[in-house]
């Protein structure tokens, strides 16, 4: 079983950042109860097509988006707009270790589900709020989605074709990286809080903002700006601090060449039939190559056009010159290394028979991760969990369902 066996997580988040975090916690062995609105559920349930197909080949109402971020969870359809629904969630929170939410700032206080409310009953609770801008500041009350945050947080100023080149302009990254990175920061923050709690016995409040996260993980580009005062610009696939480190055209496609040090460059130059490049003082060191990239890059482009992508990889990779193809996802899942690492797997699913999933990349030597539950149907576990956790009998559950408190 995973290392978080015995930890209970109550998840009232939706869309991606929160669910991505709680899916990782479920992968690590935590029991995750996902609270959803009866009738519609998590917003992403409706974000299709594509949809999972049932055994007869017809579309279900399970979107690929929802299926990507919600395995390992038990779905409880509870109406938080009702006082009884709020009471059910408070009772569940009283026995939980972690609470994750991404309502608008202050949104859960009106339901009696704020950190102050829940920690009064359960002082060991770790309560993680995910929002666009954080719990304070001039924009705190604002709503925001990933693409907006990629723009506001600087990523789109760094991503895309350089100015002056056909197709120039800002581009968002092809997946919701601001959401995903916030989710992963949430996981690490929650795990650190659990570790601290083991000594103090106390929970605490975690305030995570998409904008903060987006700014934080610009990494070297942040320091490129802060040290110089010059804002980095879009450079396509090129690296601002390393040369050659970008996609190059080959005889039949593209090659990503990622030379990270001078030794690798010398090996590349020798294997490419141009050892004089490494001996040239303009290119002998990375700093020199960065200064002279305008001359060096066209020379490398001309060299790489002489062979196919596959031929270059066969020549360079055995000599530890980092390079690789530009794969689409069909090619990714056909890669021998990806197949060997079993990144794709299938879980049983009540409607489709099985549903494909992508493995958590973490591998432990002892506490092996086990994937047992597929992304849940809306409200699939409501009655079973409320009976087991809160002791509600069949009559009480039937009454709550008849009045729309649960689904």
- The pLDDT tens digits for 142-169 are 988 999 999 999 999 999 999 888 889 8
CATH superfamily ID and name for 245-334 = formyl-coa transferase, domain 3 (3.30.1540.10)
DSSP 125: -
- The pLDDT tens digits for 91-119 are 999 999 999 999 999 999 999 999 999 99
The mean of the pLDDT values for the chain is 96
Q: What is the pLDDT of residue 245?
A: 97
Q: What is the pLDDT of residue 143?
A: 87
Asked whether the whole model's pTM tops 0.85, one would answer yes
Quote the tokens at residue 154. Answer: 């600087």
Q: Residue 1: is its pLDDT beyond 90?
A: no
Report the C-alpha dihedral over residues 304, 310, 314, 315, rounded to 10 degrees. -10
pLDDT above 90 covers a percentage of the chain that reads: 97
DSSP 170: -
Q: State which CATH number among 3.40.50.10420, 3.40.50.10540, 3.40.630.30, 3.30.70.20 fits the domain covering 8-216+345-402.
A: 3.40.50.10540
346 is catalytic: no
Mean pLDDT of 316-343: 97
C-alpha pair distances (Å), 265 with each of 6, 29, 142: 50, 44, 48
Question: Which of 27, 97, 179, 212 is flagged as catalytic?
Answer: 179
Q: What is the pLDDT of residue 220?
A: 94
Residue 254 β-bridge partners: 249
Q: What is the pLDDT of residue 175?
A: 95
Helix locations, 114-218, DSSP H: 115-121, 146-152, 155-158, 177-200, 210-216
Q: What is the pLDDT of residue 167?
A: 86
Residue 346 β-bridge partners: 356
- The pLDDT tens digits for 383-406 are 999 999 999 999 999 999 999 999
- The pLDDT tens digits for 118-133 are 999 999 999 999 999 9
Q: Where along the chain do its domains lie?
A: 8-216+345-402, 245-334
Cβ atoms of 102 and 69 within 8 Å: the answer is no
Cβ atoms of 126 and 206 within 8 Å: the answer is yes
- The pLDDT tens digits for 31-53 are 999 999 999 999 999 999 999 99
Mean pLDDT of 10-20: 97
In angstroms, the CA 375 to CA 358 distance is 12
Q: Rounded to a whole number, what is the largest CA-CA distance in the chain?
A: 84
């Amino acid at each position: 079983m995973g290392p978080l066996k015995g930890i209970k997580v109550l998840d009232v988040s939706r869309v991606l950042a929160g669910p991505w975090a709680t899916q990782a916690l479920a992968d690590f062995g935590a029991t995750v109860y996902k609270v959803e609105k009866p009738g519609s559920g998590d917003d992403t349930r409706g974000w299709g097509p594509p949809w999972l197909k049932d055994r007869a080949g017809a579309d279900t109402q399970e979107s690929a988006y929802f299926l990507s971020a919600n395995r390992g969870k038990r779905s409880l359809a509870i109406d938080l707009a009702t006082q009884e629904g709020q009471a059910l969630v408070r009772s569940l929170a009283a026995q939980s270790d972690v609470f994750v939410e991404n309502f608008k700032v202050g949104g859960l206080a009106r339901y009696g589900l704020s950190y102050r409310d829940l920690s009064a009953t359960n002082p060991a609770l770790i309560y993680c709020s995910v929002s666009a801008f954080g719990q304070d500041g001039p924009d705190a009350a604002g709503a925001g989605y990933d693409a907006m945050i990629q723009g506001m947080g600087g990523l789109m100023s760094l991503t895309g074709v350089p100015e002056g080149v056909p197709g120039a302009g800002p581009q968002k990254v092809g997946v919701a990286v601001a959401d995903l990175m916030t989710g992963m920061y949430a996981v690490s923050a929650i795990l650190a809080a659990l570790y601290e709690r083991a000594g103090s016995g106390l929970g605490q409040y975690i305030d995570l903002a998409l904008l903060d996260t987006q700014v934080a993980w610009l990494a070297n580009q942040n320091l490129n700006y802060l040290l110089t005062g010059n804002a980095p610009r879009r450079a396509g696939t090129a690296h601002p601090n390393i040369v050659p480190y970008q996609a190059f055209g080959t005889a039949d496609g593209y090659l990503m060449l990622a030379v990270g040090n001078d030794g690798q460059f010398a090996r590349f130059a020798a294997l490419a039939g141009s050892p004089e490049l490494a001996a040239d003082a303009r290119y002998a060191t990375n700093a020199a190559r960065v200064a002279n990239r305008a001359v060096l890059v066209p020379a490398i482009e001309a060299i790489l056009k002489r062979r196919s992508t596959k031929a270059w990889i066969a020549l360079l990779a055995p000599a530890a010159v980092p390079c690789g193809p530009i794969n689409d996802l069909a090619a990714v899942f056909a890669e021998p290394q990806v197949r060997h690492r079993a990144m794709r797997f299938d879980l049983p699913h009540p409607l489709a028979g099985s549903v494909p999933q992508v493995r958590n990349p973490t591998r432990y030597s002892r506490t092996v991760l086990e994937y047992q539950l597929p992304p849940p149907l809306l409200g699939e576990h409501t009655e079973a969990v409320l009976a087991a956790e809160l002791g509600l009998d069949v009559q009480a559950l039937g009454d709550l369902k008849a009045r729309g408190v649960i689904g």
